[in-house]
Structure 1
């Protein structure tokens, strides 16, 4: 449902994943993109995804928003390569800010955008 929106943001998310080596990253999203599709007003748009060695490490199946983001990220070869290099947390807050943290990351030397 949300995959098309996440695909639009994926190049920026990939860059921010790489930058987590220096510091945590924040991406301000366009609330309207999500509300147009949304079933999330009642359930809320908050979630946290934990990636460990290129796999989702926590339960996100109850959130279509989180599940679609994880699928889009793992289906992209370059993003998956970054995720395989460590542990990352990707979370969305109620202000439509995507927070990206590198818990323990070894970023690959050469990844193309």
Structure 2
């Protein structure tokens, strides 16, 4: 339902995903693009999900705009490659502001480092 809407915003979202590596990003979108279909009225347009290791975490199945965004992102080869290298948190609020945040990678402490520090 919202695949065409997300495809329209995809070039900007790609740029914001890359920029989010250094600072959180936000995109104010046109509410008309989402309200045309009125499918999400019951579930709302707000959503939040994470991408971890190139996969979508947090269920998007009950939120049509989130599900369509996830599918659009995973269908683009450039975005898919970026999502496989970095983890992100994407959310949209009720005012149609999309927020993109790069999640920090968990640092694995090797046994050698732990022994060297006396732990």
Structures share fold, TM-score greater than 0.5? yes
Deviations 1:35-87 (A, max 9, x none): 01122233211101210011001111001110000000000000111111121
CA RMSD after TM alignment:
1.1
Residue 74 of structure 1: aligned partner: 74
For structure 1, which segment, 41-50 or 59-68, has the greater mean C-alpha deviation from structure 2 after superposition?
Answer: 41-50
- TM alignment of 1:33-72, pairs within 5 A: 33-72=33-72
C-alpha separation between the residues in 1 aligned to 2:46 and 2:33? 15
1:83 partnered with 2:83: yes
Can you give the 5+ residue segments of structure 2 that lack an aligned partner in the other structure? 106-119
For structure 1, which segment, 35-44 or 14-23, has the greater mean C-alpha deviation from structure 2 after superposition?
Answer: 35-44
Can you give the 5+ residue segments of structure 1 that lack an aligned partner in the other structure? 106-113
C-alpha separation between the residues in 1 aligned to 2:62 and 2:97? 20
C-alpha separation between the residues in 1 aligned to 2:66 and 2:38? 13
User: Partner of 1:10: helix, strand, or coil?
Assistant: helix
User: Partner of 2:42: helix, strand, or coil?
Assistant: helix
Aligned residues: 105
Using the TM superposition, give the Cα deviation of residue 104 of structure 1 relative to its aligned residue in structure 2, in angstroms.
Answer: 2.5
C-alpha separation between the residues in 1 aligned to 2:18 and 2:36? 30
Using the TM superposition, give the Cα deviation of residue 88 of structure 1 relative to its aligned residue in structure 2, in angstroms.
Answer: 0.2
Structure 1's consecutive aligned runs of 4 or more residues displaced over 6 angstroms after TM superposition are none
